[in-house]
Amino acid sequence: MHRILASLLLLVSAPAIADNPWGRVRDAHPGIPEVIGGYAAGCLAGAASVPEVGEGYQLMRPSRNRHFGHPRLVHFVERMGAEASRHGWGRVLVGDMAQPRGGPMEYGHRSHQSGLDVDFWFRLLPQGSPPLSREQADEASMVSVVDEPSGSVDPQRWSPRYGELLRLAAERPEVERIFVHPIVKRTLCQNARGEREWLGKVRPYWGHDAHFHVRLACPGDSPRCVAQDPVPEGDGCDEGLERWVEEIRTAALNPKPQRPSPPRAAAAMPGACDAVLAGRPAPSLGVAEPRLRPRGR
């Protein structure tokens, strides 16, 4: 029994991909921008990157070299910074985007593969203050804004500005969905005033208690981009969410030893990604591609 548990633990803590060529590529594919495949099994040609510091934003963990994306994503990140600055909310801290050519990462995320995902920290630097040094940006730790035993956000750490930022992002037409911790979602449900349609794009998901994750829809220039099912109708402030928060609260009050979940097999990458990785032109359309359906909420 113990041996089985130990070997499971080994599997879980081992890097997702022992020898990951996608993580070693330092620069973008030179082709025209195209997203190929899905969010959790895909890659990216012609990526753009976000400068380390810009108006109203700063990249975190810049040494990871994960601040690449489809030009639409880069534009979106810069826009979020500019809007936060215009509203006087402070400087937005941008977490991981994608690797230079996308693809699976050695650690940290299952998605973020196709240049359409970006994380934002639940932390803002005060308006007008200088950006963090590169060293600070590389080493700062993420702090949870959620207090699971009480089923609510931690008032010392949560700011209504995060709600404003989430609304701003959700109202952008290019944003497909946003992931937040279920307790964050419930807080947004409780505090939302007026129009509530944007809340439907904000999806409760495990983790995401120290950052939120924005996912853009497939761009028009990428016919091989695999879309996710559309978000369900409504604002998502429902019974199911209440039940989930209650489960989290109960589990936090009665902690049990964590059982490692079995590792998930990596999804198959579209064949055209081999060319992207090698820096060759992506083969033209008409080549049979497996239709991959990303899972998730």
**Least distance from C-beta 277 to Zn ion, angstroms?**
22
User: Nearest to residue 292, comparing CAs of 262, 271, 276, 275?
Assistant: 271
Q: What is the contact mask toward Zn ion in residues 235 to 274, using x (rule: CB under 5 A)?
A: ----------------------------------------
Nearest distance from C-beta of residue 287 to Zn ion, angstroms: 30
Of the pair 169, 272, the CB lying nearest Zn ion is at: 169
- The distance of closest approach from Cβ of residue 116 to Zn ion in the complex, given in angstroms and rounded to an integer, is 11
The nearer residue to Zn ion, 198 or 212, going by C-beta atoms, is: 212
DSSP, res 216? E
The interface with Zn ion within residues 191-220 (CB under 5 A) comprises 213
Q: What is the DSSP letter of 178?
A: E
Q: What share of the chain is helix, strand, coil (3-state, %, to 5)?
A: 30, 20, 50
The answer to whether 109 and 27 are in contact (CB under 8 A) is no
C-beta of 214 vs 272, nearer to Zn ion: 214
**CA dist., res. 37 & res. 271, Å (int):** 9
Q: Binding to Zn ion (CB under 5 A): which residues in 154-173?
A: none
Least distance (Å) from Zn ion to the CB of residue 195? 26
- And the tokens for 101? 């050519």
Task: Select from 70, 39, 76, 95 the least CA-distant residue to 228.
Answer: 39
Bridge partners, 204 (sequence order): 180
Q: Which residues make Cβ contacts (< 8 Å) with residue 286, sequence separation at least 6? A: none
Give the residue with the Cβ less far from Zn ion, 111 or 222: 111
Q: How many of the chain's residues bind Zn ion (CB under 5 A)?
A: 2
Select the residue whose beta carbon is closest to Zn ion and give its number: 213
Here the tokens at position 174 are 């290019």
Which residue type is seen at 210? A
- Asked if 123 and 212 count as a contact pair (C-beta separation under 8 A), the reply is no
Which residues in the 88-147 window bind Zn ion by CB under 5 A? Answer: 119
Q: Report the run of H or E that residue 255 belongs to, with start and end.
A: none
Cα-based torsion angle of the residue sequence 281, 285, 291, 292 in order, rounded to the nearest 10 degrees: 30
Minimum Å gap between C-beta 62 and Zn ion is: 17
- Of 93 and 282, the one with the shorter C-beta distance to Zn ion is 93
The tokens for 2 are 């113990």
Closer Cβ to Zn ion, 47 or 282, answer by number: 47
How near is the Cβ of 211 to Zn ion at its closest, in Å? 7
In the complex, what is the shortest distance from the CB of residue 96 to Zn ion, in angstroms, rounded to a whole number? 6
Residue 91 vs 177, nearer CB to Zn ion: 177
Query: Which of 101/213 has CB closer to Zn ion?
Result: 213
Instruction: Tell the smallest beta-carbon distance from residue 73 to Zn ion (Å).
Output: 12
Segments in 54-203 forming alpha helices (H): 71-87, 134-139, 160-170, 182-191
Residues at the site binding Zn ion, with contacts judged by CB under 5 A: 119, 213
